[in-house]
């Protein structure tokens, strides 16, 4: 169980004046600004929950995760993970957590994957029998067998991520932090990884904290999401209500023939149903709810009024949801 | 402690396997260091082709000091070399976090992450030089003397380690302190020669500030007549222990500063 209460992390950042003079000045006197990376957040996560922890880049996600892992000491507030204070009891906390940190490998880069797991076995003091059973199961679910003899540096991104996941879950941790586990992977690998995470949660009741920009990840894995922005919790609740609120929102990006300058006006049938944002060189984005009007209707109305060169239909992104939440509130 | 010895052995075995896989790398590494070290010994030989004694020191006495320095340094080089890349490969790319989420001492993990094969080159040259010079000293080698010599070599290695650890810890504040480490270690070359050929300033620095004097010269004088530095020599193990303690405490401070500022 994770309990976070009034947790804050403030950094002091030296603000420099621009140019060489500024750099030289900075050598002698510096002014500092305080950046509130995490600002008074509170939440509780029960054993076995799978929580999506989302927010834009720089919102404070990884700072929070680092504090939960014991890597960072908070500026103020309380944090306990299964009764331990991570930054005071870092090593004991470490034996009960697993992590995949995006691009940073848990594997030893120049030795065979199998040897990496052997070393992890000794580091986490996993009993031999348990280790063998776990490896056998992971090898099957994640299809690791052909990769076992290869060095981590020889693996492709998808292969590496599968091996990383196995490393994170190897010692049967009670909590696993996953930072962008599916970034840059193809659809098949993504599906396999999501399946594996759900399976681990079902079999071992592992708590999973997932940060991602991939809406699909969140929808398939998490029941609950925490949205953080500028260091504050913006939303904490079920994914369902967010989906009800924003899930039917669609955006269509148009590229219109725009010779000789033109002023964009929303076609008559769409007035009151769609909002437009006009970009440069004939680019126009229309935002609408697919409960009020279908994408097909929007596109055909546009095609009747303008010559459309190209169009794309976009799903709502985390960024747009966060922005929406910020502007209009829950 | 026992756990760490066992764990180190596991790391070491894995490293050895990798070394054996890249045999050519291994041989080139060992050979190149061997060459560098052998050249510096040759240089002493050439100097002594023209003179018989240097400030009262004979060729073989000088070689003996050299041997202790080389052996101490090679032990540090083989087993503790990863300290050099703390900034470059761990802190800067964010890999140090990986060590902090493992249930082991991060310094242990950092050190165990590498076995530096190149160090075997200087170990080899050091042994050759030791076996050449030691029998020609004015001392009869019994079991007690050999034990004492081993203790002195261990102290020498510990001091090399302590100095490197201390300056590597600066990486926690400044991201990469490798240039400082390199500069400091450069001064250890002075310590391969008898300290009494230097002026007071250099002597003071190499004895009390950066105790490289205890990596070779002082321990060597225990086995040699006529330097007047024997009384200091016996302190080598104590100096080693004190240096290691100070360096480790400083490392701990760096670590705690690192975890309050992050990177």
Burial A301-312 (b: 16+ CB within 10 A, else e): bbeebbebeebe
Q: Least CA distance to B22: which residue of chain A?
A: A110
| CB of A86 closer than 8 Å to CB of A67 | yes
The shortest CB-CB distance from A104 to any of B14, B18, B98 is to B98
Q: Which two tokens stand for residue B54?
A: 């240097």
How many Cα atoms within 13 Å fall on the side-chain side of residue B206?
26
Q: Is residue A23 part of a domain?
A: no
Q: Are strands A249-256 and A274-278 parallel, antiparallel or unpaired?
A: unpaired
Last residue within a domain, chosen from A186, A208, A243: A243
DSSP alpha helices (H): ranges in B51-192? 59-80, 96-100, 106-112, 119-133, 143-168, 171-174, 178-186
Residues A201 and A303 in one domain: no
| A156: CATH | 3.40.50.300
Q: How far is CA A228 from CA A5, A10, A63, A325, in A?
A: 15, 16, 11, 11
The shortest CB-CB distance from A94 to any of B11, B94, B102 is to B102
Q: Which two tokens stand for residue B3?
A: 């756990």
Q: What share of chain A is helix, strand, coil (3-state, %, to 5)?
A: 40, 30, 30
Please answer yes or no on whether A92 and B103 come within 8 Å at the CB atom.
Answer: yes
Q: Which two tokens stand for residue B179?
A: 């240039």
- The whole-number average pLDDT for the span B199-205 is 89
Q: pLDDT per residue over A82-106, tens digit each? A: 999 999 999 999 999 999 987 678 8
Q: Is residue A315 part of a domain?
A: yes
- The span from the first CA to the last CA of chain B, in angstroms, equals 30
Residues A108 and A69 in one domain: yes
Please answer yes or no on whether B261 and A123 come within 8 Å at the CB atom.
Answer: no
Q: Which domain holds residue B158?
A: 2-256
| A309: CATH | 3.30.70
Residues A200 and A318 in one domain: no
Helix (H) or strand (E) holding A53: strand A50-54
Last residue within a domain, chosen from A197, A227, A243: A243
The shortest CB-CB distance from A72 to any of B6, B104, B262 is to B262
| Higher-confidence position of A201 and A251 | A201
Residue B98, min C-alpha distance to chain A (Å): 7
Q: Is residue B261 part of a domain?
A: no
Q: Is residue B76 part of a domain?
A: yes
Last residue within a domain, chosen from A217, A243, A269: A243
| CB of A21 closer than 8 Å to CB of A98 | no
pLDDT grade for B1, boundaries at 50, 70 and 90: confident
Q: Is residue B178 part of a domain?
A: yes
Q: Cα–Cα distance between B106 and B114 in angstroms, integer?
A: 13
Nearest to residue A142, comparing CAs of A166, A115, A120? A166
Q: Cα–Cα distance between B59 and B66 in angstroms, integer?
A: 11
Please answer yes or no on whether A70 and B101 come within 8 Å at the CB atom.
Answer: yes
Q: Cα–Cα distance between B242 and B67 in angstroms, integer?
A: 24
What does pLDDT average to over chain A?
A: 87
- Chain A residues whose CB is inside 8 A of the B259 CB are 70-73, 87
Please answer yes or no on whether A71 and B100 come within 8 Å at the CB atom.
Answer: yes
- CA B209, distance to chain mean position in Å, is 16
Q: Which domain holds residue A155?
A: 46-243
Supply φ then ψ for residue A196, to 5 degrees: -60, -45
So what's the ipTM on this one?
0.86
pLDDT of residue A330: 53
Q: Is residue A252 part of a domain?
A: yes
- Which residues of B touch chain A, with CB atoms under 8 Å apart? 6-7, 10-11, 14, 17-18, 93-95, 97-98, 100-105, 113, 256, 259-262
Residues A259 and A239 in one domain: no
Q: Least CA distance to B91: which residue of chain A?
A: A104
Q: Cα–Cα distance between A237 and B35 in angstroms, integer?
A: 67
Q: Does the structure show a pLDDT above 70 at A30?
A: yes
The shortest CB-CB distance from B259 to any of A73, A101, A108 is to A73
Provide, rounded to the nearest whole percent, the portion of chain A with pLDDT above 70.
93
Residues A281 and A201 in one domain: no
Q: Does the structure show a pLDDT above 90 at A265?
A: no
Q: What share of chain B is helix, strand, coil (3-state, %, to 5)?
A: 80, 0, 20
| CB of B80 closer than 8 Å to CB of B158 | no
Q: Least CA distance to B99: which residue of chain A?
A: A106
| CB of A254 closer than 8 Å to CB of A314 | no
- CA A210, distance to chain mean position in Å, is 6
Residue A112 DSSP class:
B
Q: Which two tokens stand for residue B28?
A: 């080139």
Q: Which of A8, A12, A63, A73 to mutate to test the interface with B (most CBs of B within 10 A)?
A: A73
- Chain B residues whose CB is inside 8 A of the A87 CB are 259
Nearest to residue B28, comparing CAs of B19, B16, B39? B19
List the single range of A54-58, B117-121, B128-132, B177-181 with lowest mean pLDDT. A54-58
Residue A102, min C-alpha distance to chain B (Å): 11
Q: Least CA distance to A98: which residue of chain B?
A: B101
- CA A80, distance to chain mean position in Å, is 22
Contacts (Cβ under 8 Å, ≥6 apart) of A157:
A184, A185
pLDDT of residue B262: 63
| Higher-confidence position of B68 and A271 | B68
- Chain B residues whose CB is inside 8 A of the A101 CB are 94, 97-98
Helix (H) or strand (E) holding B204: helix B200-204
Please answer yes or no on whether B14 and A108 come within 8 Å at the CB atom.
Answer: yes
pLDDT grade for B227, boundaries at 50, 70 and 90: low
Please answer yes or no on whether A104 and B95 come within 8 Å at the CB atom.
Answer: yes
Please answer yes or no on whether A104 and B103 come within 8 Å at the CB atom.
Answer: no
Residue A203, min C-alpha distance to chain B (Å): 24
Residue A316, min C-alpha distance to chain B (Å): 32
Q: How far is CA B17 from CA A111, A116, A135, A163, B76, in A?
A: 9, 12, 22, 21, 21
- Chain A residues whose CB is inside 8 A of the B97 CB are 66, 69, 71, 101, 104
List the single range of A109-118, A141-150, B48-57 with lowest mean pLDDT. B48-57
To 10 degrees, the CA torsion angle through B253, B256, B261, B263? 90
Q: Does the structure show a pLDDT above 70 at A165?
A: yes
Please answer yes or no on whether A73 and B113 come within 8 Å at the CB atom.
Answer: no
Residue A286, min C-alpha distance to chain B (Å): 41
Residues A105 and A208 in one domain: yes
- The whole-number average pLDDT for the span A239-259 is 78
Q: Cα–Cα distance between B95 and A161 in angstroms, integer?
A: 16
Helix (H) or strand (E) holding A67: helix A61-69
Q: pLDDT per residue over B13-66, tens digit each? A: 998 888 888 888 888 888 888 898 889 888 888 988 888 888 888 899 999 999
Residues A231 and A258 in one domain: no
Q: Cα–Cα distance between A252 and A325 in angstroms, integer?
A: 20
Q: Cα–Cα distance between A254 and A265 in angstroms, integer?
A: 13
Residues A218 and A257 in one domain: no
Q: pLDDT per residue over B231-242, tens digit each? A: 888 899 999 999
Helix-helix angle A157-169:A128-141, to 10 degrees: 150
Angle, CA of A309, A313 and A314, to the nearest 5°: 135
> Structurally, how many domains does chain B consist of?
1
pLDDT of residue A260: 61
Q: Does the structure show a pLDDT above 90 at A268?
A: no
| CB of B132 closer than 8 Å to CB of B45 | no
Q: Is residue B263 part of a domain?
A: no
Q: pLDDT per residue over A279-326, tens digit each? A: 877 888 888 887 888 888 888 888 888 888 889 887 666 666 766 776
Angle, CA of B103, B107 and B113, to the nearest 5°: 85
Q: Residue B151 class from Cβ within 10 Å (0-12 exposed, 13-18 middle, 19+ buried)?
A: middle
pLDDT of residue A138: 94
> Structurally, how many domains does chain A consist of?
2
Q: Is residue A9 part of a domain?
A: no
Q: Least CA distance to A95: which residue of chain B?
A: B103
- The whole-number average pLDDT for the span B190-206 is 87
- Chain B residues whose CB is inside 8 A of the A104 CB are 93-95, 97-98
Q: Is residue A15 part of a domain?
A: no
The shortest CB-CB distance from B10 to any of A72, A91, A119 is to A119
Please answer yes or no on whether B98 and A118 come within 8 Å at the CB atom.
Answer: no
């Amino acid at each position: 169980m994770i309990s976070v209460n009034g947790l804050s992390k403030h950094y002091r950042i030296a603000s420099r004046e621009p140019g060489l003079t500024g750099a030289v000045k900075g050598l002698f006197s510096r002014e500092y600004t305080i950046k509130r990376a995490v600002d008074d957040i509170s939440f509780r996560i029960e054993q076995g929950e799978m929580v999506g922890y989302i927010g834009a880049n720089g919102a404070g996600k990884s700072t929070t995760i680092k504090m939960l892992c014991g890597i960072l000491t908070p500026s103020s507030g309380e944090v306990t993970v299964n009764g331990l204070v991570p930054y005071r009891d870092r090593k004991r906390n470490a034996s009960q957590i697993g992590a995949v940190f995006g691009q940073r490998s848990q594997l030893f880069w120049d030795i065979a994957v199998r040897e990496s797991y052997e070393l992890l076995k000794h580091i986490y003091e996993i009993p031999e029998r348990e280790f063998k059973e776990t490896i056998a199961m992971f090898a099957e679910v994640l299809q690791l067998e052909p990769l076992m003899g290869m060095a981590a540096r020889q693996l492709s991104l998808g292969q590496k991520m599968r091996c990383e996941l196995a490393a994170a879950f190897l010692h049967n941790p009670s909590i696993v932090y996953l930072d962008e586990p599916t970034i840059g992977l193809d659809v098949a690998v993504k599906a396999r990884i999501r399946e594996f995470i759900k399976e681990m949660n079902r079999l071992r009741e592992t708590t999973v904290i997932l940060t991602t920009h991939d809406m699909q990840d969140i929808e398939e894995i998490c029941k609950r999401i925490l949205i953080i922005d500028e260091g504050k919790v913006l939303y904490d609740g079920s994914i369902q209500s967010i989906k009800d609120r924003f899930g039917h929102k669609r955006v269509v990006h148009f590229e219109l023939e725009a010779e000789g300058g033109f002023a964009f006006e929303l076609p008559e049938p769409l007035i009151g149903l769609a909002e437009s944002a006009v970009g440069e060189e004939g680019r126009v984005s229309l935002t609408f709810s697919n409960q009020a009007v279908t994408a097909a209707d929007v596109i055909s109305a546009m095609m009747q009024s303008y010559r459309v060169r190209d169009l794309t239909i976009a799903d709502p992104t985390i960024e747009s949801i966060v922005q929406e939440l910020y502007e209009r509130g829950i | 402690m026992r756990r760490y010895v066992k764990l180190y052995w596991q790391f070491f075995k894995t490293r050895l396997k990798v070394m054996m896989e890249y045999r050519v790398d291994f041989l080139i590494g060992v050979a190149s260091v061997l060459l560098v070290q052998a050249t510096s010994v040759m240089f002493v030989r050439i100097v002594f082709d023209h003179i018989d004694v240097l400030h009262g020191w004979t060729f073989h006495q000088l070689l003996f000091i050299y041997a202790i320095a080389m052996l101490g340094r090679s032990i540090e080089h083989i087993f503790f070399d990863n300290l050099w890349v703390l900034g470059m490969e761990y802190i800067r790319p964010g890999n140090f976090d990986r060590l902090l989420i493992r249930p082991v001492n991060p310094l242990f993990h950092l050190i165990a992450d590498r076995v530096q094969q190149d160090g075997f080159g200087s170990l080899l040259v050091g042994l050759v030089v030791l076996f050449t010079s030691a029998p020609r000293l004015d001392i009869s080698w019994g079991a007690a003397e050999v034990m004492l010599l081993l203790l002195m070599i261990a102290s020498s290695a510990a001091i090399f380690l302590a100095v490197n650890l201390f300056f590597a810890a600066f990486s926690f504040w400044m991201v990469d302190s490798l240039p400082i480490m390199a500069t400091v270690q450069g001064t250890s070359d002075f310590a391969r020669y008898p300290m009494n050929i230097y002026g007071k300033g250099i002597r003071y620095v190499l004895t009390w500030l950066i105790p490289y004097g205890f990596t070779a010269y002082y321990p060597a004088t225990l086995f040699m007549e006529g330097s007047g530095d024997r009384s200091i020599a016996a302190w080598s193990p104590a100096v080693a222990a004190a240096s290691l303690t100070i360096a480790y405490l400083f490392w701990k401070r760096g670590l705690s500063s690192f975890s309050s500022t992050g990177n």
